[in-house]
Amino acid sequence: MDIKMKWFYRLAFLLLLFIVLFVFFKLQPFWHPVLTTVLKALFPFAVAAFIAYLLYPLIRYLQKNGLPKALSVLIIYLLFFGGAGVAIYKGLPALLDQLKELSANAPYVMEQYENWVSAVERNTKTWPDGFKEEIDQGFAAVNETVERLAEKTLSFFFWIVDSFIILTLIPFIAFFMIKDMEVIQKAFWSVVPEKWKDPLRDFFAEVDRSLGGYIRGQLIVCTLIGGLSSLLFWWIKMKYPLILGLIVGVTNVIPYFGPIIGAVPAVVIAATVSFRMAVYVVLILFILQFLEGNIISPYVVGKSVDLHPLFIILSILIGEEAGGVLGLVLAVPIVAILKTALLELRRQMKGKERAG
């Protein structure tokens, strides 16, 4: 095939792709409701599969140490969901009480925060214009961040409440996925063409090696940071320690930006109590982030996801625009999977070139 025909096929392919995308977006009013319904139905299966993926290595470990599979599944399943159930049973009432108190005091908290901002602005009037502008821009950025985070978090929370019945199915789906993991794997590989089996096995093994360790490590780190934050906030008699600790722990999963996002509500509420309380909260969060960055994460997570910081930041920004809070959390894992897929594809192509 000469070079002109190659370019002709390439241009024809691009034109066809453009037409398909154009028609796809034009038909959005028709397929979007269907897609939303399908995704809502698949959500508990996706979460259950994620839980099964996290727990299955522990079950394999118990099996290797002589325990029968049924007993291994039962032990890990009861420990995980039993522990989660006890935590919810004990912690949820206190968390709901703090949420009610925070909702009732929200106007007062915002009024105190605005008074504090006004006081800072009055005290910095005599400062050079450059410093004053930086402070004003900083407060504006904080206000915008708090509003966006609150709006997206509330919408996500209401979606979870709305989907409560569907979410109750997750433990049952996860149990059957864990119990029949080998059957599911055999069924999957039986429909994969023979020529794709080895490349896919290599791809899944590489994803599991890098991303699996990263996800499990991040969950441990976030639980530790969230628990320690709540405990230390309670120790200094900070208001709403469970809520603020939960926010710090959950947002800690987001690289670079997560600690800042999680710190904003705690510092804002602390500033409405007293300047000393705000200093205590900042010190606690700074020490925890120092420990997390220099001791906990390197030991627990390591360098599982080998991505350049610029790619991580870019993926987080795109994830936030595309999927809000969920996009922030899933951005890095998705980019890591894409990177692994591209590297595996390049390796396969090089192998074919050598063979040819």
Q: Where along the chain do its domains lie?
A: 47-175+199-348
Please state, in angstroms and rounded to a whole number, the distance separating the CA atoms of residues 38 and 15: 30
Does residue 256 come out as left (phi exceeding 0), alpha (psi in the -120 to 50 range) or beta? left
User: 92-109 in b/e burial notation, b at 16+ Cβ within 10 A?
Assistant: eeebeebeeebeeeeeeb
State the Cα torsion 247-229-280-258 to the nearest 10°. Answer: -40
* Sequential pLDDT tens for the chain (356 residues): 566 666 767 777 788 878 887 777 777 777 778 777 887 778 888 888 888 888 888 888 888 888 888 888 888 888 888 888 887 777 777 777 777 777 777 677 677 666 766 666 666 666 565 666 666 666 666 666 666 666 666 666 666 666 667 777 888 888 888 888 888 888 888 888 887 888 888 888 877 877 777 788 888 888 889 999 999 999 998 888 888 898 888 888 877 777 887 888 888 888 888 888 888 999 999 999 888 877 777 666 655 566 666 777 777 777 777 666 677 777 777 877 787 777 777 777 776 666 55
pLDDT at position 121 is: 63
**What is each CA distance from 58 to 22, 76, 178, in whole angstroms?**
47, 7, 11
- Tally of CB atoms within 10 A around 329: 19
pLDDT at position 351 is: 65
pLDDT at position 327 is: 74
Return the closest-CA partner of residue 311 out of 333, 287, 291, 344: 333
Q: Residue 172 carries which side chain, given as an amino acid letter?
A: F
| Tokens (6 digits) for 169 | 């199915």
pTM over cut 0.85: no
